[in-house]
């Protein structure tokens, strides 16, 4: 381990880590915004809503993210003229937009599956009570189903966001300079693979820990009406337990 090199390249790595965080922070909420309607459609009684949602989720969960990224970034070049005529080529020409586009669709599909399970797990009695109280479909969803579903889904959704953050490393192959690519550039120049990649591995671990910690705080807020799971353990102890599980 060449600590001098690590110290010297630390600013570049931090810029890369910033990009990794930016990719995660943009695609996670957008993916969630896509996932909720998808999950609701997936559970719908109407087949024209349920089938397309199912197909979308199945295709995005059934194919590798790397192929999805290549398909949009390299593949859409095949339709360059058409996309230009439609006036959307500026979007698919840019590696960062392509990356975000695919990450949102991908995490949307995975999160939809998590929220589908959570919505189906809302106790039937709660929904019956809401019906008996005369709540409309939307009020039921907003006041009864979604709050419960978020509580059920939160631990699994935390995992999904950690995976999403780690998956942003694939975006380096579209030449987006995030954490991994910033290390690769230095490793290729200095031939010091070990120092750079071990440092990067540790930075990824720290970011994973940070995400678990932040999501733990939200979980504490979501579960404030119950006795806290894990008893008197601090948020840090709980996050550490999740990371080293």
Partner 1 sequence: MNLFDFAGYGDEIWRGVMLTLGVGGGALVVAVLFGLLGAAGKLSNHWMTQKLAFLYTTLVRGIPELVLIIVLYYGVPTLVQNLVRLSVPGYRLDFNPVVTAVVVIGLIYGAFMTEVFRGAFLAVPGGQMEAARAFGMSRFKTFWRIHMPQMWRFALPGIGNVWMVLIKATALVSVIGLKDTLYWSGKAGEALHEPFKFLLIAAMIFLGITFVSEQLFRYAESRAQRGVEKVRH
Interface ranges with partner 1 (CB under 8 A): 58-59, 61-68, 70-71, 74-79, 166-167, 169-170, 172-173, 180, 193-194, 197-198, 200-201, 204-205, 208-209, 243-245
Show the tokens assigned to 151. 């509580």
* Helix ranges restricted to H, the chain: 3-42, 47-62, 65-73, 80-86, 89-93, 95-120, 124-132, 137-140, 146-167, 179-190, 193-222, 235-243
Nearest to 215 by CA among 168, 148, 151, 131: 151
- In the complex, the smallest distance separating the C-beta of residue 180 from partner 1, rounded to whole angstroms, is 6
Tokens 């915004």 correspond to 33
Residue 10 or residue 74: which is nearer to partner 1 going by CB?
A: 74
**What is d(CA 159, CA 167) in angstroms, rounded to the nearest whole number?**
12
- In the complex, the smallest distance separating the C-beta of residue 143 from partner 1, rounded to whole angstroms, is 29
Residue 74 or residue 137: which is nearer to partner 1 going by CB?
A: 74
- In the complex, the smallest distance separating the C-beta of residue 179 from partner 1, rounded to whole angstroms, is 9
- In the complex, the smallest distance separating the C-beta of residue 213 from partner 1, rounded to whole angstroms, is 13
Residue 70 or residue 150: which is nearer to partner 1 going by CB?
A: 70
CA 63, 64, 68, 70 torsion-angle sign: negative
- In the complex, the smallest distance separating the C-beta of residue 110 from partner 1, rounded to whole angstroms, is 11
Residue 6 or residue 135: which is nearer to partner 1 going by CB?
A: 6
Residue 205 or residue 223: which is nearer to partner 1 going by CB?
A: 205
Residue 135 or residue 235: which is nearer to partner 1 going by CB?
A: 235
Show the tokens assigned to 226. 């119950």
- Residue 120, C-beta contacts closer than 8 angstroms, at least 6 positions apart: 43
**What is d(CA 199, CA 185) in angstroms, rounded to the nearest whole number?**
14
- In the complex, the smallest distance separating the C-beta of residue 59 from partner 1, rounded to whole angstroms, is 7
């Amino acid at each position: 381990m060449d600590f001098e090199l690590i110290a010297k390249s630390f600013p570049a790595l931090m810029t890369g880590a910033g990009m990794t965080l930016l990719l995660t922070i943009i695609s996670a909420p957008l993916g969630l915004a896509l996932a909720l309607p998808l999950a609701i459609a997936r559970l719908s009684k109407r087949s024209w809503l349920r089938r397309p949602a199912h197909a979308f989720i199945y295709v995005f969960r059934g194919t590798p993210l790397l192929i999805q990224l290549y398909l949009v970034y390299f593949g859409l070049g095949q339709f360059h003229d058409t996309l230009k005529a439609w006036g959307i080529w500026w979007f698919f020409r840019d590696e960062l937009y392509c990356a975000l586009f695919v990450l949102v669709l991908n995490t949307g599909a995975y999160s939809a599956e998590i929220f589908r399970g959570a919505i189906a797990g809302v106790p039937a009695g709660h929904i019956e009570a809401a019906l008996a109280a005369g709540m409309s479909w939307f009020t039921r969803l907003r006041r009864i189903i979604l709050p419960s579903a978020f509580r059920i889904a939160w631990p699994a959704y935390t995992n999904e966001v950690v995976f999403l953050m780690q998956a942003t490393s694939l975006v380096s192959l579209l030449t987006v300079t995030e954490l991994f690519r910033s290390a690769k550039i230095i490793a290729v120049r200095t031939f010091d693979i070990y120092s750079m990649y071990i440092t990067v591995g540790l930075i990824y671990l720290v970011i994973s820990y940070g995400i678990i910690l932040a999501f733990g705080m939200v979980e504490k807020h979501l579960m404030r009406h119950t006795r806290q799971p894990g008893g008197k353990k601090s948020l840090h102890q709980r996050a550490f337990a999740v990371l080293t599980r």
